């Protein structure tokens, strides 16, 4: 089992250690970060986050059994007028935690915040089309593909396509949210 705790400066080093290559940096952080990831970028990332009326909540993922930091996830672009938000920077960093269902637990917990606590209507995310494990995880959590943004991001001489995915509150309440209650 896992729990989400607010991301804080004490967690910076572990996240920096997980983001080892420019390719992974682009997949995880998008164009907002420049490789190599560093403390100054993370301080900027945290500015204005995790407060009562913040537009973003940034979390460290903690294994409840060991209390070890095993991942990272954020809920950003929180728009209370449109009751929407976006999940980003999803990372299961601990190699031993990969393939154990941690990603689905992370999604369920952040969606619980979005739908149950914030009372949002729509939550979106973007995932590169070659990241099959992440796509499968998001679909298991109730997300649906809405469209493929072809050649969305350039990396070196390649272009990467990005799936836009979303889940709506009635879908969460009907199926995906029920998994959290079990």
| Residue 182 confidence (pLDDT) | 45
Element (H, E) at 152: strand 144-155
Element (H, E) at 103: helix 102-111
Q: Give DSSP secondary structure letters for 35-101.
A: SSP-HHHHHHHHTT-SSTT-S-EEEEEEETTT--EEEEEEEEEEETTTTEEEEEEEEE--GGGTTTT
Considering the chain, what is the average pLDDT of its residues?
A: 94
List, for residues 151-172, the tens digit of each pLDDT value: 999 999 999 999 999 999 999 9
List, for residues 113-142, the tens digit of each pLDDT value: 999 999 999 999 999 999 999 999 999 999
Q: Lowest mean pLDDT of 28-37, 41-50, 118-127, name the range.
A: 28-37
Q: Which two tokens stand for residue 115?
A: 């739908």
**Domains of the chain by residue range:** 2-181
Q: CATH for 2-181?
A: 3.40.630.30
């Amino acid at each position: 089992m896992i729990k989400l705790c607010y991301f804080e400066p004490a967690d910076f080093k572990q996240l920096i250690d997980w983001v080892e290559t420019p390719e992974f940096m682009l997949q995880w952080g998008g164009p907002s970060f420049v490789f190599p990831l560093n403390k100054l970028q993370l301080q900027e990332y945290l500015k204005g986050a995790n407060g009562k009326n913040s537009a973003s909540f940034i979390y460290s993922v903690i294994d409840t059994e060991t209390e070890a930091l095993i991942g990272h996830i954020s809920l950003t672009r929180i728009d209370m007028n449109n009751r929407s938000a976006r999940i980003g920077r999803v990372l299961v960093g601990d190699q031993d935690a990969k393939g154990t269902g941690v990603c689905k637990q992370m999604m369920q917990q952040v969606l619980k915040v979005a739908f149950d606590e914030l009372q949002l209507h729509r939550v979106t995310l973007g995932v590169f089309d070659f990241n099959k494990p992440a796509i499968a995880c998001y679909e298991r959590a109730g997300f649906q593909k809405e469209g493929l943004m072809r050649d969305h991001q350039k990396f070196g001489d390649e272009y990467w396509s990005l799936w836009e995915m979303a889940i709506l509150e009635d879908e969460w309440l009907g199926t995906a949210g029920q998994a959290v209650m079990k």
